[in-house]
Amino acid sequence: MADLIKPIFVNISIIVSLTFIANLIYPFNAKGGISLKQKLFFGLISSIAAIGCMYYPIDGFRTTVFDLRTVPLIVATLYAGLIPGTMCSLVIIFTRLSIGGEYAWVGVLITVVALAIGFAYSRMFNEALKKWKPGLVAGFLFFLLYVLILYIHVDFLPVRFYFIYFFSFYTLYFLLILLIDRLIRINLQLEETIYLGKLSVLGQMAASIAHEIRNPLTTVRGLIQFLSCHTKDDQLKQHAPLIIDELDRSNKIISDYLSLVRPSEMKLRNVDLKEVVEDITHLLSPLAVFNSVIIKPELSKQHLVKADDHQLKQCLINLIKNGIEASEGGGTISIRDEVNTVDTVDLIIEDTGKGMTKEEVQKVGLPFYTTKTKGTGLGTMITFRLIRNMKGSISYNSTPEKGTSVIVRLPVATNGEKE
Ligand code: ADP
Ligand code: MG
């Protein structure tokens, strides 16, 4: 037994430590796509992990070798797709063939099966809010096929072996999925902490400036109103409404800014998505018309989602405004729904604007990231946080010069009644 435990621990240590190293160099994140450079890097790291495991096999039955090399292969493919998966598979196949033995090709077959399963579940895995569910299905399928291949080609091995091997395989496999998920969350929290640090200074400044400015503004507004009613000066009478309007506008800017830095409390209710989208379309249509943009709400039916309607509206306004601002010289913004899983619904906001490169997509949502001269770089940051608090998620697909689609995934209300 002890002779089995030792290599298992070595395999686990190799894979876990390489996962941490990968995260140090390219912090894992959940939003946007993974760039080609990152994919190649993840391919390299998973290949090193797989070779490391192969050098410390758990056990050999005749000329077969068993180790946990398929774990980094499946996990890298699930998270980052075919490129790192193929790199890792080729390295495994090459190494296995160079070790030789009559069962080398069984190893090749199992590697190809692992790659195929990882790739088949990769999309579902990345779209899922709870990653362990598709992870479990993919892992189980791999287990079935693995046992089948061994049974057909190698003979039935001692039960003790199956137990030890698959127990360590699954422990490591789930540990890794949980670990990567945790790392993604920690990375997000870190970004947010930095942001909140900046925001709290900003918030204090904003509050004091707002106070200092609002008081004289109110006095001036009152005086202008008073003077314009009691004067015989035509010019003052004529211009007073404009002055008052401008003062009110300044006041509104200050209030908006204050509400931004002092987020309100979230109240989750069952909200009709179609109604929210229609309200927002109505609200934003003057801005859209002004920019020659057409907003097309194309929701196929009513969806009840668990959300805070006020905050959801704020999020959609931010996202649609970005779409309008990206469509210089006109365009279309379509808002569709799509149902992929039983417990979530996707709202897709697609614009025909200037789009973004992969690198730019990675930066969306970072505090103060903006490419606009009058931008604040806070809109998407706040939207990401609010949607996450509603247990939803946001992802971006964008092509430069073609447009952007933002996918807002929201949890469906469990008791199907509108509140
Ligand atoms: P702001 O709108 O103040 O710049 P945001 O956080 O809303 O701040 O957006 C950050 C940046 O992300 C924008 O400056 C823009 O470069 C980019 N961006 C966001 N949405 C889109 C989009 N739909 N199309 C193109 N670029 C976008
Ligand atoms: Mg914006």
Q: Give the mean pLDDT of the chain.
A: 86
Counting ligand 1 atoms within 8 A of each CB, the residue from 315, 328, 380, 383 with the most, and so the one to mutate, is 380
Q: 169 and 94 in one domain?
A: yes
pLDDT of residue 349: 97
CATH number at residue 290: 3.30.565.10
Asked if residue 314 is part of any domain, the answer here is: yes
pLDDT above 60 (res 392)? yes
| Contact between 380 and 316 (Cβ < 8 Å) | no
| Contact between 386 and 192 (Cβ < 8 Å) | no
Map residue 373 onto helix, strand or coil.
coil
User: 185-222, pLDDT tens digit by residue?
Assistant: 888 888 777 766 776 676 667 667 777 888 888 899 99
The ligand with the least distance to the CA atom of 321 is 2
Asked if residue 317 is part of any domain, the answer here is: yes
Asked if residue 417 is part of any domain, the answer here is: no
pLDDT of residue 261: 62
Going by pLDDT thresholds of 50, 70 and 90, the confidence category of residue 150 is confident
Which one of 201, 235, 261 terminates a domain?
Answer: 261
Counting ligand 1 atoms within 8 A of each CB, the residue from 287, 315, 322, 395 with the most, and so the one to mutate, is 322
Q: 348 and 250 in one domain?
A: no
Asked if residue 419 is part of any domain, the answer here is: no
Q: 175 and 53 in one domain?
A: yes
Nearest residue by C-alpha to atom 16 in ligand 1? 371
User: 7-27, pLDDT tens digit by residue?
Assistant: 888 999 999 999 999 999 988
**In sequence order, what are the residues at sequence separation of 6 or more whose Cβ sits closer than 8 angstroms to the Cβ of residue 119?**
77, 81, 82, 85
Q: 312 and 256 in one domain?
A: no
Nearest alpha-carbon partner for 64 in 145, 141, 156:
156
Map residue 101 onto helix, strand or coil.
coil
User: 287-304, pLDDT tens digit by residue?
Assistant: 899 899 999 999 988 899
Which one of 245, 261, 277 terminates a domain?
Answer: 261
Which one of 261, 288, 320 terminates a domain?
Answer: 261
Q: 101 and 82 in one domain?
A: yes
CATH number at residue 28: 1.10.1760
- Say how far apart CA 191 and CA 395 lie, in whole Å: 17
Asked if residue 164 is part of any domain, the answer here is: yes
User: 318-373, pLDDT tens digit by residue?
Assistant: 999 999 999 988 999 999 999 878 889 999 999 999 999 988 998 898 877 889 88
Q: 169 and 69 in one domain?
A: yes
pLDDT above 60 (res 175)? yes
Q: 239 and 374 in one domain?
A: no
Q: 115 and 49 in one domain?
A: yes
- Say how far apart CA 219 and CA 216 lie, in whole Å: 5
Going by pLDDT thresholds of 50, 70 and 90, the confidence category of residue 161 is confident
**In sequence order, what are the residues at sequence separation of 6 or more whose Cβ sits closer than 8 angstroms to the Cβ of residue 143?**
166, 169, 170
Asked if residue 31 is part of any domain, the answer here is: yes
* Count of the separate structural domains present in the chain: 3
User: For ligand 1, which residues put their CB under 6 angstroms from it?
Assistant: 318, 322-323, 326, 351, 353-356, 364, 369-372, 375-381, 404
Q: 217 and 145 in one domain?
A: no
Q: How far is the CA of 327 from the centre of ligand 2 (A)?
A: 13
Asked if residue 57 is part of any domain, the answer here is: yes
Q: 115 and 9 in one domain?
A: yes
Going by pLDDT thresholds of 50, 70 and 90, the confidence category of residue 105 is confident
- Three-point CA angle 4, 7, 40, nearest 5°: 140
Its domain, for residue 171, covers 2-191
For 354, list phi and psi in degrees, rounded to 5.
Answer: -75, -10
What are the residues facing 336 on neighbouring strands? 298, 348
- Say how far apart CA 324 and CA 398 lie, in whole Å: 15
Q: 133 and 34 in one domain?
A: yes
- Say how far apart CA 363 and CA 99 lie, in whole Å: 44
Going by pLDDT thresholds of 50, 70 and 90, the confidence category of residue 260 is low
- Which amino acid is present at 406? V
The ligand with the least distance to the CA atom of 363 is 1
Q: 172 and 314 in one domain?
A: no
Nearest residue by C-alpha to atom 20 in ligand 1? 322
Asked if residue 399 is part of any domain, the answer here is: yes
Q: How many CA atoms lie within 13 A of 407 on its CB side?
A: 17
